[in-house]
A and B are shown apart, each in its own frame.
Chain A
Amino acid sequence: KAGVTQTPRYLIKTRGQQVTLSCSPISGHRSVSWYQQTPGQGLQFLFEYFSETQRNKGNFPGRFSGRQFSNSRSEMNVSTLELGDSALYLCASSLLRGRGDTQYFGPGTRLTVL
């Protein structure tokens, strides 16, 4: 079974631009969560989608948004990029939303904002 895939793997943008990152979950998984990791910080929760609906959002500004398609693939968008948005963005998928459901992570997209 193919794992979680994320594209692109690396991205360089300049301040003020916008960016779209893509995540394809494991086949059959319906929940997709997004996390940001910056140096010195743990993984910070961005948002979670289930059945094409955003079910939960972390403490990030409105410049961060996302969506999920009917095939469970998800995209996240960051508008008006700032230097502090440089980070590793990880997505994770799980079968359902139960407490015992393991989240499976993709390899991440490394975003650099210049």
Chain B
Amino acid sequence: ILNVEQSPQSLHVQEGDSTNFTCSFPSSNFYALHWYRWETAKSPEALFVMTLNGDEKKKGRISATLNTKEGYSYLYIKGSQPEDSATYLCALFLPGGSNYKLTFGKGTLLTVNP
């Protein structure tokens, strides 16, 4: 069974704070990692797809890094805003054929207080 672990489970920060959370996965079993943001009552929204060790991706105030050798990815949010409140999911992508699928972690619930 492939385990994708996310920590912390939930996080409360004040508006303006910067924050980060972690996604851990078996380092021997890497093909690609996806990050999603899921706001309440909306569809999960793709943030990043990361495929190479050392990848760094950025979208506005959100960025992510990837270390496939040690099996983790960090998601950073700079200067959190109330609209950043959402569940952040990471998912490990397994390659094609019968294994094509995303295996998701349980997510980190971020609440940004104004």
- Please encode chain B, from 83 to 106, with 1 for each CB lying within 8 Å of some chain A CB and 0 for all others: 000000101010111111111111
- Nearest Cβ on chain B to A71's Cβ, whole angstroms: 21
Contacts A33-B101, A104-B46, A106-B43: A97 and B96 contacting too (C-beta < 8 A)? yes
Chain A interface helix/strand/loop/mixed: loop
A-side contacts of B43, CB under 8 Å:
3-4, 90, 104-108
- Please encode chain A, from 80 to 114, with 1 for each CB lying within 8 Å of some chain B CB and 0 for all others: 00000000001010000111111111111000000
Contact A103 B107 (CB under 8 A): no
Stretch at the interface among A12-20, A37-45, A62-70: A37-45
19 contacts between A and B (CB under 8 A): A4-B43, A31-B100, A42-B104, A43-B102, A44-B104, A48-B101, A55-B97, A56-B101, A58-B101, A92-B102, A99-B32, A99-B93, A99-B95, A100-B32, A102-B34, A104-B43, A105-B44, A107-B43, A108-B43
Residues of A in contact with B (beta carbons under 8 Å apart): 3-4, 31, 33, 35, 41-45, 48, 50, 55-56, 58, 90, 92, 97-108
Q: Does B51 count as interface, using CB distance less than 8 angstroms?
A: yes
A-side contacts of B45, CB under 8 Å:
105
A-side contacts of B95, CB under 8 Å:
99
Question: Looking at A41, A104, A105, A107, which has the most chain B CB atoms within 10 Å of its CB?
Answer: A105
- Please encode chain B, from 33 to 55, with 1 for each CB lying within 8 Å of some chain A CB and 0 for all others: 01010000011111001010000
Q: Tell me the count of chain B residues lying within 8 A, CB to CB, of chain A.
A: 28
A-side contacts of B31, CB under 8 Å:
99
In the assembled complex, the Cα of A90 lies from the Cα of B99 at a distance in Å of 19
**Chain B residue at smallest Cβ distance from A102:** B46
A-side contacts of B106, CB under 8 Å:
41-42
B-side contacts of A43, CB under 8 Å:
89, 91, 102, 104
In the assembled complex, the Cα of A17 lies from the Cα of B91 at a distance in Å of 33
- Nearest Cβ on chain A to B50's Cβ, whole angstroms: 9
A-side contacts of B97, CB under 8 Å:
55-56
A-side contacts of B96, CB under 8 Å:
97-98
